[in-house]
Amino acid sequence: MVFRLTILGSSSALPTAKRYPTAHLLNANERFFLIDCGEGTQMQLRKYKFNFSKINHIFISHLHGDHIFGLPGLLSTMHLLGRKNDLHIYGPAALEEILKLNRGEEDYLNYFKVIFHRTGHKRKNLIYSGKNINVWSIPLKHRVETTGFLFEEKSMGLNIKKEAIELYSPGIEQIANIKNGDDLILEDGSRVDNNDLTQPPWKIRSYAYISDTAYNPKITNQILEVDLLFHESTFENTHEKLASLTLHSTSRQAAMIAKKAKVGKLLLGHFSSRYKNLDNMLQEAKVEFENSFIVEDGDNFEIKRIREDSIDGFSD
């Protein structure tokens, strides 16, 4: 079961020849979640061969243009492609009015239903709960209402060994009980210990997306020990004062958050177009947190499915 992040855009306010504005796509067990939708997002979805119709949930962190300008065009394209399924959009309250204004005379409601969910920005909220995954909003500190997002798999319980099923042929109810930790009682009354029937559960995989924000150590408890953290890194440390003034972060500050939160891997993005070379930014981050990476448009980061008693679950 796949858990893969694709970087569709990694620039900040201004697109460049090599980088589109911010947009990510998370494939969580074949459920596709679009996170922010900067200008050109639909072009990147086409370039990397993603099916628009499989995107049923879009999460918008805040209403600055480099995070939403791609949304009206994407919705229009979905309409022109004949979309029929409901589309869920999560974001600040004001986004609902923006969606209505952009829809204009071309009323998508005649073709597919857009269901809007207000995220709130004052506390951590559970904003989506599906069969296999929960999504939480995380309040951030920026010039407008802004949230990050935490995507976290649900626990699937213990895993029954294949040989145990072949040997004992348990029924559906017995299987459910075994996965919950019960022993198996055979027809003759004898008991098979649960440890002989099961393997450790799959490790819960998680991805945290920290969009535009000033350095804010208060968020670390909300993203503690996530496998994969994206944290905005608009500026080098030499421009720390500018970062503070504009309520953005430096690469060093992003790495400090990663270190405090004890995350598995840190992804740096949302770069100012003033930097033609990002080597300094990466080195500044690595001083604080070694497992830091500069993202490029089109990069994929997959968290492999492993048992709870395993260690490394990354591939990219």
The pLDDT tens digits for 99-110 are 888 765 555 556
Residue 314 predicted with pLDDT over 80? no
Cα(265)–Cα(255) distance, integer angstroms: 10
Residue 316 predicted with pLDDT over 60? no
3-state secondary structure the chain: CCEEEEEEECECCCCCCCCCECEEEEEECCEEEEECCCCCHHHHHHHCCCCHHHEEEEECCCCCHHHHCCHHHHHHHHHHCCCCCCEEEEECCHHHHHHHHHHCCCCHHHCCCEEEEECCCCCCEEEEECCCEEEEEEECCCCCCCEEEEEEECCCCCEECHHHHHHHCCCHHHHHHHHCCCCEECCCCCEECHHHCEECCECCCEEEEECCCCCCHHHHHHCCCCCEEEEECCECHHHHHHHHHHCCCEHHHHHHHHHHHCCCEEEEECECCCCCCCHHHHHHHHHHCCCEEECCCCCEEEECCCECCCCCCEEC
Confidence of residue 284 (pLDDT cuts 50, 70, 90): very high
Region 215-241 average pLDDT: 97
Region 152-176 average pLDDT: 84
Residue 66 catalytic? yes
Catalytic residue among 36, 66, 212, 227: 66
Cα(24)–Cα(9) distance, integer angstroms: 7
Instruction: Give the amino acid at 194.
Output: N
Cα(121)–Cα(139) distance, integer angstroms: 5
> Tokens in use for 97?
């009015």
Give the architecture-level CATH label for domain 3-156+201-315.
4-Layer Sandwich (3.60)
Region 257-276 average pLDDT: 97
Lowest mean pLDDT among 208-217, 228-237, 302-311: 302-311
Locate tokens 């559970």: which residue?
Answer: 126
* Residue boundaries of the structural domains of the chain: 3-156+201-315, 159-199
